[in-house]
Amino acid sequence: MAIQWFPGHMHKARKEMAKVLPEVDVIIEVLDARIPWSSENPMLANIAGDKPLLRVLTKADLADPVRTEQWLVELRRHERHDAIAITAGDPAITKAIPQRLKALVPPPTSPRLKPYVAMVMGIPNVGKSTLINKLAGRVVAKTGNEPAITKRQQLITLSEHWRLRDTPGMLWPKVENEASGYRLAATGAVRDTAMDSSEVAAYLLDHLCVHYAEALRARYGKTLPLDESVQTLEAIGKMRGCLGGGGLIDFDRAGRLLLSEFRAGLLGGMTLETPAMRQKEEAETAKRLAEIAARREQRREKKSEERSARKARKKNS
C-alpha cells in the first residue's frame, strides 16, 4: 500500500535532527512492539550514523510476548545496540532506561562537565511523548492517540546527568515494502484519512486468520469464517451491525471497527511480523527495486540510442 502522508514539519524535523546530532551522545529509537521492523525509520538510521542506540519497544502489552522476545534478541545483535520492551502498566522497566543508556555511552576520557544528551526518535503515534513523560516524571510532552502530535524539538532535563531531546514523529517519503505500509496503517502510524480502512483491515485479517485464529474467534464468535479475509470482514461487519443501504455490509465501517479494536488490544496481544519475515521481505523488496532500476536503465539507454540515431540521420540528410 502506498502511503502518501509526509507533512512539511517532518521534512523540517529531519534537517533539524541532523543539525543537532553532534551534540547527542546516544539515540533512543522508539518502536512499536507489534511491528518492530516496519516502525523502524530507515531515514533515522542514516541520521543516527554510528551513535550508540537503545531501541525501546513500546505497547508491548498489545504485542505477542513470544514474538517480542524474539525481536529483543534480534535487535541486540549489534555491539553498540541494546533493546528493551516496556508496557503501560510496568513503570519499573521504564525507570531502568537511564541505566541502559549509561551502559551504552563510552566512558569519558576526562571529567565531564555537561549532562549527557539522548535524542528520542520514532515514527508518529509510537508512544515517544508518553515515554518521555514517564522518564521525566511529569508532563513535558503533549500526548494523543493520533499521529503527528509533536511538531518541534524540545530539550528536557531529567537530572543533572541526563537530558532528553524530543523530536517530532517522522515517517519517510516512500515506504518501499508494501507489507510494511499496511502494518503502519493498521497500527495507526498514519492518519486514517490517508488510507482505505477496509483494505487495511483485509490485510490485517490475512495475517490474523493464520497466526491468531483462536483470538479472532474468541472475540467475534466460534463460527467466524477464516478462509478468506474479505469474507471474515463481512462476517464481522454483519455481526456488529455495520450495514449500509439495502442492508448490505458497509466494509469501511467494519474495517474501522476492526482496526479500532486491534489498536486497543481488545483482540489480545498480537505481533504482525517476525525477524524471519523481515529477512524474507527485505530480499523480495531489494529484488523488486533492482528490477525497477534495471527497467529504468533500459529505457534510458533506449532513449539515448534513439537520440543518437536521429542525430545521425539528420547529419546524413
**The C-alpha cell that represents 142 in the structure block:** 503533549
Q: Is 125 annotated as a binding residue?
A: yes
Q: Is 316 annotated as a binding residue?
A: no
CA distance 181 to 34: 14
By residue count, the chain amounts to 317
CA distance 177 to 67: 21
Q: Is 129 annotated as a binding residue?
A: yes
What DSSP string describes 67-81?
HHHHHHHHHT-STTE
CA distance 82 to 194: 33
Q: Is 150 annotated as a binding residue?
A: no
Q: Are 233 and 201 in contact (CB under 8 A)?
A: yes
**Helix, strand or coil, per DSSP, at residue 163:** strand
Q: Is 169 annotated as a binding residue?
A: yes
Cα–Cα distances in angstroms (integers) from residue 260 to residues 2, 267, 271, 307, 317, in the given order: 21, 10, 16, 55, 70
Q: Which parts are annotated binding residues?
A: 125-130, 169
Q: Which parts are annotated binding residues for GTP?
A: 125-130, 169
